[in-house]
Chains A and B, each alone.
Chain A
Amino acid sequence: MALITDYLVQGCQMLLILLLAPLLTGWVRVIKARLLRRRGSPLLQPYRDLYKLLGKEVVLAESASWLFRVAPYLIFAAIWVAAALVPTFANGLLFSWTADLIAIVALLGSARFFLALAGLDVGTSFGGIGSSREMMIASLAEPAMLMMVFTLSLLAGTTELSAVARFMLTADVGLRVSLGLALLALMMVAIAENARIPVDNPATHLELTMVHEAMVLEYSGRHLALIELAASLKLLLYLSLLACIFAPWGMAAAGAGLAAYGIGLMVYVIKLAFGGVLLALFETSVAKMRVFRVDEFLGAALMLGLLGALLLFVSREL
Chain B
Amino acid sequence: MTLPLLLALPMVLLAVGVYAVIAARPPHGSRQVYSVALAVSTVALIAALAYLASGQAPETLRLPIGLPWLGAHFRLDPLAAFFLIVVNLGSAVASLFALGYGQHETAPERVLPFYPAFLAGMNLVLLADDAFAFLFAWEFMSLSSWALVMAHHQDPANTRAGYLYLVMACFGTLALLLTFGLLAGPDGGYNFDAIRAGQITPGLAALVLALALIGAGSKAGLVPLHVWLPLAHPAAPSHVSALMSGVMTKVAVYGFIRIIFDLLGEPVAWWWGGMVLALGGITAVLGVLYALMQHDLKRLLAYHTVENIGIIFIGLGLALAFQGNQMYASAALALTAALFHVLNHSLFKSLLFLGTGAVLTATGERDMEHLGGLIHPMPYTALAFLIGAAAISALPPLNGFVSEWLTFQAILLSPELPQWLLKFLAPAVGALLALSAALAAACFVKAFGITFLGRPRSPVAAQAKETDRYSLTAMFILAGLCVVAGILPGLVVDGLGPVVGSLNGSVQLTTQHNQPWLTLVPIVDVKSTYNGLLVMLFMAISGTLAALLIHRLASNKVRRGPAWDCGFPDASPATQYTAGSFAQPIRRVFGSVVFQARERVTMPPPGDLRPAKLEVRMRDPVWEIGYAPIATAVVALSSRFNYLQYLTIRRYLGLVFGALVLLLLGMVLWR
B-binding residues in A (CB < 8 A): 14, 54-63, 65-67, 73-74, 76-78, 80-81, 84, 95, 97-100, 102-103, 106-107, 109-110, 112-113, 116-117, 120-129, 131-133, 135-136, 138-143, 146-147, 150, 153-154, 157-160, 163, 205-206, 217-218, 221-222, 225-226, 291-292, 295, 302, 305-306, 309-310, 312-314, 316
- Residues of chain A within 8 A (CB-CB) of B103 are none
A141 to B566, CA, bound (A): 28
User: Could you tell me which residues of chain B, from 498 to 535, have a CB within 8 Å of some CB in chain A?
Assistant: 519, 526-531, 534-535
Contacts of B539 in A (CB 8 A): 74, 77-78, 81
> Chain B's nearest CB lies how many Å from the CB of A15?
11
State whether A63 and B373 are in contact (beta carbons under 8 Å apart), knowing that A57-B555, A136-B589 are contacts in the complex.
yes
Is B396 within 8 A of A110, CB to CB? yes
> Is A125 within 8 A of B577, CB to CB?
yes
Partner of B408, one of A131, A146, A291: A146
Q: Please report the C-alpha to C-alpha distance between residue A147 and residue B430 in the assembled complex, in whole angstroms.
A: 8
Chain B residues near A120 (CB, 8 Å)?
445, 449-450, 453-454, 577, 582
CB proximity to A under 8 Å, residues B337-387: 372-373, 375-376, 379, 382, 386
> Which single residue of chain B is at the shortest CB-CB distance from A141?
B438
Note all chain A residues with C-beta closer than 8 A to B584: 132
- CB-defined contacts of B415 to chain A, threshold 8 Å: 154, 312-313, 316
Closest A-chain residue to B432, C-beta based?
A: A143
Instruction: Tell me the bound Cα distance from A144 to B390 in angstroms.
Output: 21
User: Count of B residues near A, CB < 8 Å?
Assistant: 89
Stretch of B183-191, B540-548, B653-661 on the interface side: B540-548
Q: For the complex, is B405 an interface residue (Cβ under 8 Å from A)?
A: yes
Q: A60-B561, A302-B431, A306-B428 are in contact. List 10 more A-B contacts (CB 8 A).
A: A61-B561, A113-B393, A121-B449, A135-B585, A143-B437, A150-B411, A150-B427, A222-B550, A222-B556, A310-B424
A222 to B526, CA, bound (A): 43
Minimum CB distance partner of B519 in chain A: A97
Stretch at the interface among B94-102, B124-132, B568-576, B600-608: B568-576
- Chain A residues with Cβ under 8 A from B446's Cβ? 135
Q: Which of chain B's residues have a CB closer than 8 A to the CB of A63?
A: 373, 454-455, 563
Closest-CB distance, B608 to chain A (whole angstroms): 26
- 5 A–B contacts from the bound complex (CB under 8 Å): A57-B557, A116-B449, A117-B448, A125-B577, A153-B412
Are A142 and B437 also in contact (CB < 8 A) when A67-B386, A122-B563, A131-B577 are? yes
In the complex, residue of chain B having the shortest beta-carbon distance to the beta carbon of A81: B538
Evaluate whether A123 and B527 lie within 8 angstroms (CB atoms) in the complex, with A65-B375, A217-B564, A295-B589 already known: no
Q: Are B375 and A163 in contact (CB under 8 A)?
A: no
Pair A98/B538 contact, Cβ less than 8 Å: yes
Q: Is the interface of B mostly helix, strand, loop or mixed?
A: helix
Most A-side CB within 10 Å, residue of B427, B562, B568: B427
Q: Is there an interface contact between A306 and B431, defined as CB atoms closer than 8 Å?
A: yes
Nearest-neighbour CB distance to chain B for A260, whole angstroms, equals 23
Return chain A residues, CB-CB under 8 Å to B554.
54-55, 222
Judge whether A143 and B435 touch: CB under 8 Å.
Answer: yes
CA distance A302 to B428 in the complex (A): 11
* Shortest Cβ gap from A270 to chain B (Å): 28
Q: How far is the CA of A136 from the CA of B588 in the complex (A)?
A: 10
Known: A67-B375, A120-B450, A132-B581. A106 touches B543 (CB 8 A): no
Chain B, range 381-405, C-beta contacts under 8 Å to A: 382, 386, 390, 393-396, 401, 405
Q: Do A124 and B565 have beta carbons less than 8 Å apart?
A: yes
Nearest 8 A-B pairs (CB), nearest first?
A128-B577, A123-B454, A77-B543, A120-B449, A57-B557, A136-B585, A143-B434, A135-B442
CA distance A261 to B396 in the complex (A): 31
Pick the residue among B530, B540, B568 that contacts A99 (CB under 8 A): B530
A60 to B564, CA, bound (A): 9
The chain B residue sitting closest to A116, CB to CB, is B445
B residues contacting A by CB (< 8 A) are 372-373, 375-376, 379, 382, 386, 390, 393-396, 401, 405, 408-409, 411-412, 414-415, 423-424, 426-428, 430-431, 434-435, 437-439, 441-442, 444-446, 448-450, 453-455, 519, 526-531, 534-535, 538-540, 542-544, 546-547, 550, 554-566, 568, 571, 573, 575-577, 581-586, 588-590
Residues of B within 8 Å of A66, CB to CB, are 375, 379
Which A residues lie within 8 Å of B540 (CB)? 77
Q: How many Å lie between the Cα of A317 and that of B566 in the bound state?
A: 54
* Bound: A302/B375 CA distance, A: 36
Shortest distance in angstroms between B442's beta carbon and chain A's nearest beta carbon?
4
Q: Which residue of B lies closest to A62 (CB)?
A: B560
CA distance A154 to B212 in the complex (A): 34
Min distance, Cβ B555 to any Cβ of chain A, angstroms: 5
Residue from B379, B442, B564 in contact with A138 in the complex, judged by beta carbons closer than 8 Å: B442
- In angstroms, Cα B581 to Cα A148, docked, is 31
By the criterion CB–CB under 8 Å, are A113 and B558 in contact?
no
Q: Separation in Å of the A60 CB from the closest CB of chain B?
A: 5
Report chain B residues within 8 Å CB of A139. Answer: 435, 438-439, 441-442, 586, 589-590
Q: Are B445 and A124 in contact (CB under 8 A)?
A: no
CA distance A124 to B455 in the complex (A): 9
A163 CB contacts on chain B under 8 angstroms: 527
Q: Contacts A59-B559, A139-B438, A143-B438 known; A81 to B542 CB distance under 8 Å?
A: yes
Which residues of chain B come closer than 8 Å to A306, judged between CB atoms? 427-428, 431
The residues of B that contact A106 with a CB separation of less than 8 Å are: 394-396, 401, 405
A113 neighbours in B (Cβ, 8 Å): 390, 393, 395, 441, 444-445
Our pick among A121, A128, A142 for the contact of B582 (Cβ within 8 Å) is A128
Given the known A-B contacts A120-B454, A126-B565, A306-B427, are A60 and B560 also in contact in the complex, defined by CB atoms under 8 Å?
yes
